[in-house]
Structures are given as structure tokens and as C-alpha cells.
Amino acid sequence: MTQAIYNGVLNLAAGAFLLAAVLVVWRREVRAIVRLLAWQGLALAAIPLAEGIYQDDAALIAVGVVVLLLRAVALPLLLARAVGTEAHERRESTPLVNTTTSLLITAALTVLAYAVTRPVIALDPSPATRAVPAAFAVILIAVFVMVSRRQAVSQAVGFMMLDNGIAATAFLITSGVPLIVELGASLDVLFAVLVLGLLTGHMRATFGGTDLDQLRELRG
């Protein structure tokens, strides 16, 4: 793999990674959001794969494959199963912040991410670190998604985007994470998603929906 192709793939992956996060903010259809998450997982997996192939590092390639299977396939599948069949659960009908404002906030967060990661890039300017702002922006956007969404599944998507962002930052800054660390983190997320799946099931049984605002009723 030549330097140019490596650069291209890395940039492309970072761009797609960020784009997927933006589209998650944009869309309201929960299924579409989960599908976007799968695409984001694919973009995330491309980073260690590209680095692994470029540096001839089998462990990194293995990490990439694990990430691919877990984040682009397994987790979205699990989440998709958690999406209810009721019409009102398949859409974020009334997000707490309207879409236009959400998009503008996303713009602000991204610009902020670019600004605050400048010193990080300045430490070691390389194609990989140049993509860090995108990963960091995804972290901020993920937090925003978690803050502004009502449906439990969208919350879970936000959580997973957060984790994707952290993983991407780690890959880009350290040029690769040991396999064991990545496995640990990914398993963590897997468990979290399983628990969330259980919880949404319970919520649906109890409240007849997964609108998180209804949790307020739990307060005595």
C-alpha cells in the first residue's frame, strides 16, 4: 500500500465516519439510524485495517477484523432487534431539539472539535493525527445525540457512537491499540448493548414504549 493510497483511505474513512454521525443527527427513522451506525462501524474498521496493511502489522489487521465484525455487523443487528415494531417507536417523532437546530449545534460542535484538537495534531503531524478532529467531533456529537433523543434505541446509538469515537481517537493517535485492549472495550460495549436490549424489552412491557421521558414516572 503506497503512502498516497494510505492517506486517501484514512481521510476517506475519517470523512465517512464523521458523515455518518452527522446523518444520525439528521435522520429520525430509528432503523435508518441503526443502519448508519453500521456504516460508521465500517468506516471505523477501515482505520486499523489501513494502518495494519500499511505497516504490515498482523495484530492491527486482526483488531480491524474484530472491529468490523463487532461494530459493523453484530451490534447493529442486536440494536435492530431491539427496535420495536410499533410505528411510534420506529421514529423519533418529537426530538427534544428540532432538527434544524440540532444540525446547527452539530456544526458548532464539529468546529469546536477541530479547534480544540489543534494542539494534539501539532504534537505529531501525520496523516493519522490529522484525522483526529473528525473522531473527536464524533464523540461530541454522540454526547449531543444522547442528550437530545427520546427513544431508548437512539440513546443506545448515541452511546455506541461515543464508543466508536473514542476507539477512532485511540486508533488515530496511537497508531494502533493492542488487540486485548480493543477486545476488552468492544466486549464491554457488547454487554452494554445486551443489557440495553433487555432494558428496552422491560420498558416496553412496563410502559408500552421506550420513550425515556416516561422514566420520570419512576420518581416517587
Partner 1 sequence: MSAMSVMSVVATLLQVVAVLVGAPLVVGGMRQVRARLEGRAGGGVGQPWRDLRKQLRKQQITPLGTTVVFALAPAVVAGTTLLIAAILPLISLGSPLDPAADLFGVVGLLFLGTVALTLAGLDTGTAFGGMGSSREITIAALVEPTILLAVFALSVPGQSANLAAIVAAAADNPGQLVSPGSLLAFVALAIVIIAETGRLPVDNPSTHLELTMIHEAMVLEYAGPRLALVEWASAMRLTVLLGLMANLFLPWGIAGADPSPLGILIGFVVISLKILVLAGALAAGEVFIAKLRYFRVPELLAGSFLLALLAVTASYFFATPTN
Partner 2 sequence: MTTALHEFPTVPTPGQTLRAARRARVHAVLSGGLTAALGTVGVALGLSVIFGGPRELRVGWLLPLVGVQLNLDALGGLFVAVTGAVSAAVGIYTVGYARREHLARFPLTVLPLFVAAMMLVPAAGSVTTFLLTWELMAAASLVLVLSEHHRAEVRSAGVFYAVMTQLGFAAILLALVLLSAAGGGDSFDTISASSGDIPSGTRTAIFLLTLLGFGSKAGLLPLHAWLPRAHPEAPSPVSALMSAAMVNMGIYGIIRFDLDILGQGHPSPHWWGLTLMIFGAVSAVFGVLQASVATDLKRLLAYSTTENMGLITLALGAAALLSSYGAMAVAALAMTAALLLILSHAAFKTLAFLAAGSVLAATGLRDLDKLGGLARRMPGTTVMFGIAALGASGLPLGAGFVGEWLLLQSLIHSPHDDTTLLMLVMPLSVGAVALTTGLGIAAMVKAFGVGFLARPRSAAAEAAREAPASMLTGMGLAAAACTVSAVAPVLFGPLLERVLTALPTLGGEAAGPMLGAYLRLPGVTGSIAPGLIAVALVVAVLLALALARWGGRHRPAAVQAPLWACGADSLSPRMQYTATSFAEPLQRVFDNVLRPETDVEVTHYAESQYLVEKVTYRTLQADPVEQRLYTPVVRAVTAWAQYVRRAHPGSVHLYLAYGAIGLLVVLVVAR
Query: Site residues (CB under 8 A) for partner 2?
Result: 101, 111, 114-115, 118
Cα angle for residues 40, 144, 26 (degrees, 5° grid): 55
* Residue among 96, 107, 181, 215 that touches partner 1 (CB under 8 A): 107
* Residue among 32, 35, 114, 146 that touches partner 1 (CB under 8 A): 114
Q: Which stretch binds partner 1 (CB under 8 A): 16-24, 86-94, 173-181, 203-211?
A: 16-24
State in Å, rounded, how far the first CA of the chain is from the last one.
61
Residues 146-175 that bind partner 1 (CB under 8 A): none
Cβ neighbours, 10 Å, residue 114: 15
Rg of the chain over Cα atoms, rounded to whole angstroms, equals 18
Using the rule CB under 8 A, is 130 a contact of partner 1?
yes
Q: Which stretch binds partner 1 (CB under 8 A): 123-131, 157-165, 177-185, 203-211?
A: 123-131
Residues 24-53 that bind partner 1 (CB under 8 A): 26
Measured on CA atoms in the order 96, 154, 138, 20, is the torsion positive or negative? negative
Residues 6+ apart with CB under 8 A from 70: 41, 186, 189, 190
Using the rule CB under 8 A, is 120 a contact of partner 1?
no
The 8-class DSSP code of residue 73 comes to I
Measured on CA atoms in the order 118, 111, 158, 75, is the torsion positive or negative? negative
Which chain residues interact with partner 1 by CB under 8 A? 4, 7-8, 11-12, 14-16, 18-19, 22, 26, 99-100, 103-104, 106-107, 110-111, 114, 121, 127, 130-131, 133-134
